[in-house]
Amino acid sequence: MSKKKVLPPTYLISSIIAMLVLYFVFPVLRVICFPWNLLGIVPLAIGIILNLVADAAFKKTSTTVKPFEESKTLITTGVFRISRHPMYVGMVLILFGIGVLMGSLTPYAVIPVFVFLMEIVFIRVEERKLEEKFGEAWSAYKGKVRRWI
């Protein structure tokens, strides 16, 4: 029986829940007040759009979006010209936007933990697999495009 792997959206949802818990249980310092907190909609929307555009690129090239499955295609165009992992960048923007909307300082503690987990659990594995599969093409792409932004 194969064990199901926890995918990045689960980490994103867990991070949002953790941010909410911190916001309500430890509302340390309110740093962004109304109406300025509404500016959080901007990174939130950009993060959602970035994820949708990247997901569409995976579908268009008929390759997997799932981190532990083998990629059929190395995508280097569109949002992948900006970041090797635009979906993770999008997720960080979503978390940052939610943090701004909350306006409190404590929810931001979740974001570095999320980034660290994405690096350790997913990005290192993904990049190793891409290097094995695409060799020179991966190395050339990796030399031109940053991991995050």
Please tell me the pTM assigned to this model.
Answer: 0.94
Residue 59, domain member (yes or no): yes
List, for residues 109-132, the tens digit of each pLDDT value.
999 999 999 999 999 999 999 999
Eight-class DSSP state of 30: B
Residue 2, domain member (yes or no): no
Eight-class DSSP state of 57: H
- Displacement of CA 117 from its chain's centroid (Å): 10
pLDDT band at 32 (very low <50, low <70, confident <90, very high): confident
Residue 78, domain member (yes or no): yes
Q: Is the pLDDT of residue 63 over 60?
A: yes
Residue 35, domain member (yes or no): yes
Residue 1, domain member (yes or no): no
Residue 3, domain member (yes or no): no
The residue range of the domain holding 63 is 8-144
Question: Residue 2: its pLDDT value, please?
Answer: 56
Counted domains in the chain = 1
Q: Which residues contact 5 (CB under 8 A, 6 or more apart)?
A: 67, 68
Residue 12, domain member (yes or no): yes
Residue ranges with strand state E in 61-115:
none
